[in-house]
Amino acid sequence: MTTRTLSVFRPMLCVAVCAAAATATLPARAAEDSSPMMNVVELSGKGAVQVQQDMLRMVLETTRDGSDAAAVQSTLKQALDQALQVARPQAAPGRLDVRTGAFSLYPLRDAKGRITGWQGRAQLILEGTDIARISSLSGRIHSMTVSDIGFDLSPAARRKAESQAQEEAIADFRARASTIAHSFGFQAYTVREVAVRADNGGLPRPYMARMAVASTRAVDDATPMPVEPGATTVQVTASGAVRMH
């Protein structure tokens, strides 16, 4: 009888012990699985630097119209060639870059959709950091007139400004993380992840003045176009998560 009794209850005892052991490990595993997200807070820091715009972009333009498409195209080419002959000798990489812009030709139609003539447009773009040189050159190009003026930052100036703003953003991120950790009663924090990016969204756009194309401009008018750069703000954001401990 004794042997049979032991053989009957031994499996039951094993099951009970195993079940108890399994139950005892569940809270530890749950805590272990959730621990990476415990005491984690997301935050961001910002840095902003205001700098003077140092690059000028000037668009010169001319329009022509007539009854013959080939003739209109030919006059546009002549105007562009004349402008390039004046501009090319003044070109200097980075300081004054010269390139052609839009060149278009399209029909003019009457109320019934019939073609009554042709109109075309040609552009020349002057861009660089030598603002005085670009302004002076624009006054010596007589086959085209200024249609757009825009200021921006040169690549070198933007990199320098972003580097300064980045330092401010990281310092702001660390200061916020330390303040938050101490406010919750923690002594320190560990950075879990962080991303740093330049944020130009919502910033004032470079100054852009729309100029009326003056078809009556005197051919001997070599007066430089008066221009004045402004300031722009470069922002950098450092965002991520820290674990307080």
Tokens for 180?
């938050």
Please give the model's pTM, rounded to 2 decimal places.
0.69
pLDDT at 228: 87
pLDDT at 166: 97
Tokens for 141?
């190009």
Query: CA-CA distance, 218 to 213, in Å (whole number)?
Result: 13
Residue-level length of the chain: 245
Collapsed DSSP state (helix, strand, coil) of residue 184: coil
Query: CA-CA distance, 27 to 204, in Å (whole number)?
Result: 54
Query: CA-CA distance, 54 to 127, in Å (whole number)?
Result: 11
Question: What is the full per-residue pLDDT of the chain (245 aa) written as tens digits?
Answer: 444 444 444 444 333 333 344 444 444 444 444 566 789 999 999 999 999 999 999 999 999 999 999 999 999 999 999 999 999 999 999 999 999 999 999 999 999 999 999 999 999 999 999 999 999 999 999 999 999 999 999 999 999 999 999 999 999 999 999 999 999 999 999 999 999 999 764 344 444 444 434 433 444 456 777 888 999 999 999 999 999 99
Please say whether the beta carbons of 25 and 78 come within 8 A: no
